[in-house]
Chains A and B, each alone.
Chain A
Amino acid sequence: MTSGRRVLRVASGQGFWGDDLEAPVRQVEGGPIDYLMLDYLAEVTMSIMRKQQGRDPEAGYARDFVALMERIFPACVTKGIRVVTNAGGVNPRGCAQALIGAARRAGVAARVALVTGDDLMDRLDALLAAGHPLANMETGAGLETIRDRVRSANAYLGARPIVEALSHQPHVVVTGRASDAALTYAPMIHEFGWKWDDHDRISSGVVAGHINECGAQSTGGNSMPEWWTVPDLATVGFPIIEAEPSGEFVVTKHPGSGGRVDRRTVTEQLVYEIGDPKRYITPDAVADFTTIGLEEIGPDRVRVRGVKGTPPPDHLKVSVAYQNGWKAVGTLTYTWPDAAEKARAAARVLRERLDRLGLRFEAVRTELVGWDSTHGHLVGEPPADLPEVQLRVGVRSQDQAPVERFTREMVPLVLTGPPSATGYAGARARVQEIMAYWPALIPRDLVESALRVEVITA
């Protein structure tokens, strides 16, 4: 399994479903890389994909991944770049089959390794009956309280099935809900032959995965320090991890690409969406982020060393999405003079009309975009000469009907409320079904015993 490589280049090409479509192309064409990891899944992505699959049984995965592969398949095969992705979403098999079609159209003979077994939807009742409550990690409530509203349930897989998939020498590994970081460190475990109880090296891989998993967020995108000096964000280079067998690695990007890699840009990503930094839990190790050592060793090069870790827990995290009511958000723009006062007066009129209609909501939220919508009361009272402000009103209910009616109540304010309102295209709010996130835990052997790796060829 070990190839004796000294440096393994694992490039990040997508940080979420909807990320820069050209980034993976730049990674493949901009210089040498060994692996391209494409992360498509966030907390609620699975439920969106499930919704799409409900309308079309062939759907349920990141379709733009297939279109992307059709473009880069020839280059990947020629250059020996392997792609590892969780683009499979709730339909990894459909994704793999579509990928085979893309390979044929691109004229390459591709081997695709498919990982299945993360999808627990069909096993939920059996799991509950067997005494696994799948309780919400935040509230403690048992899953049975929302069982009839569950739309998707997937275990976060670690690197083990991906490493097994890589042993079949595929061009692409497609998974469902593999954890984001595992897409980066599974190739390291495969190539360097790291042992599963080598918690420090695997934790180092986990840190590399965390740096890779949000794309350009570690290479100058969304970076505060002297943001106006970050070069050429139009062609921002996504991160590349130059991993070494010891676990140490260098974070960099292709020469000539835009963006920036330094201690600050990497640190910003390291603290992104973490909890207790001493216990960054993954299915393969618990990494201690307080042991991370960073050193700038050259232009756009940061060395990471010293990472320590401990064994992974006996449970895997499960991501459940369930229907939890309806919501809608409408907007109207009010202008000087008295922009903020008019917007607030309009909100009062709207609220009174909703009350008179007898509509009940579990929440109604009013924000003034351009004044307090993100910093709330911290900004104090708006100045009298504020040139304009956007009134933004959102409502939420377990019932669809009051939310539907709300969407008809904002537009009339243009002619029936305070003066100088415009932008009413945004006032006709769209009703959205809410898919809420339910994090739970499951004993890992119940998932791992059902995992399957297969190879499909074009």
Chain B
Amino acid sequence: MARLRLVHLAHARSGDKGDTANVGLIAYDPAHYGILREHVTAARVKAHFGGIVRGNVERFELPNLHALNFLLHGALDGGGTVSLMSDAQGKVMSTALLRMEIDVPDDVARAAQGMGLAPRGTA
């Protein structure tokens, strides 16, 4: 087994509904959806964010899209216009989730190496 950041296995997009942020987490390789489903649980995500998410975390499954959807309640300091956060609308909560580490089989870690990060000097 190897520890791997989610950024190498999945991409994500986030947004807001009031004081709740949503993060959609999408497997790069459909074959890795099962790994996400097993390891990226609502409880693990809640623990990952710690004090950033004051409410509970809900998780929904979209196996057809190889994706999980998370609702992070109480994550936006009151939401939209009320919030004092730079990221008042949760636009980059997606990338904060991609920092999370999970344990994956060695072959998965090898295959995912370098995924999700731009090679130096390409942009």
Contacts and interface: CB of A to CB of B under 8 A. Distances in A.
A312 interface: no
Interface stretch (B15-23, B34-42, B105-113): B15-23
Contact of B80 (A228, A269, A377, A437): A437
Contacts of A293: 64
Classify chain A's interface size.
Answer: 35 or more
Highest count of chain A CB atoms <10 Å: which of B65, B77, B99, B122: B65
A290 B63 CA distance: 7
A276 interface: yes
A23 to B, nearest CB: 20
20 contacts: A138-B19, A224-B94, A225-B28, A228-B122, A267-B67, A268-B11, A268-B26, A271-B24, A271-B26, A272-B13, A272-B22, A273-B22, A294-B65, A324-B82, A325-B82, A364-B84, A369-B86, A374-B86, A375-B99, A437-B81
Contact of A436 (B13, B26, B82, B99): B82
Contacts of A376: 51-52, 96
Nearest to B99: A378
The 6 closest A-B pairs by CB, nearest first: A271-B24, A394-B84, A273-B15, A224-B11, A365-B84, A373-B86
B118 interface: yes
A29 interface: no
B12 A363 contact: no
Given A264-B26, A269-B13, A270-B65, 4 more contacts: A43-B18, A138-B19, A267-B26, A276-B60
A377 B79 CA distance: 20
A365 B11 contact: no
A111 to B, nearest CB: 36
Contacts of A374: 86-87, 92, 95-96
Best-surrounded residue of A226, A276, A329, A435 (most CB of chain B within 10 A): A226
Contact of A377 (B28, B51, B116): B51
B92 A365 contact: no
B71 interface: yes
Contact of A277 (B26, B69, B86): B69
A307 B15 CA distance: 23
A201 interface: no
B50 A274 contact: no
A364 B81 CA distance: 15
A190 interface: no
B65 A267 contact: yes
Contact of B69 (A223, A228, A274): A274
A435 B81 contact: yes
A402 to B, nearest CB: 14
Contacts of A437: 18, 79-81
A274 B24 contact: yes
A272 B85 contact: no
Nearest to B18: A138
A224 B84 contact: no
Interface of B: 11-20, 22, 24-26, 28, 48-52, 60-67, 69, 71, 77-82, 84-87, 92, 94-96, 99, 116, 118-119, 122-123
Given A268-B11, A436-B78, A273 B64 contact: no
A365 B78 contact: no
Q: B-side binding surface: helix, strand, loop or mixed?
A: mixed
A44 B12 CA distance: 25
B96 A273 contact: no
Contacts of A294: 64-65
B29 to A, nearest CB: 11
Contact of A292 (B65, B69, B96): B65
Contacts of A369: 86
A392 B86 contact: yes
Given A224-B116, A228-B118, A292-B65, A272 B24 contact: yes
A185 interface: no
A223 B15 CA distance: 14
B46 to A, nearest CB: 13
Interface string A224-268: 111110000000000000000000000000000000000010011
Contacts of B94: 224
A369 B69 CA distance: 28
- Output the residue of A274, A276, A364, A439 with the most chain B CB within 10 A: A274
Interface string A8-41: 0000000000000000000000000000000000
Nearest to A227: B118
B81 A363 contact: no
> Counting chain B CB atoms within 10 Å of each CB, which of A277, A373, A392, A439 scores highest?
A277
A396 interface: yes
A271 B92 CA distance: 14
B71 A275 contact: yes
A271 B99 contact: no
Given A267-B65, A273-B16, A274-B24, A436 B60 contact: no
Contact of A271 (B19, B69, B78): B69
A408 B77 CA distance: 24
Given A274-B22, A367-B86, A43 B65 contact: no
Given A290-B62, A290-B64, A228 B123 contact: yes
A318 to B, nearest CB: 13
A222 interface: yes
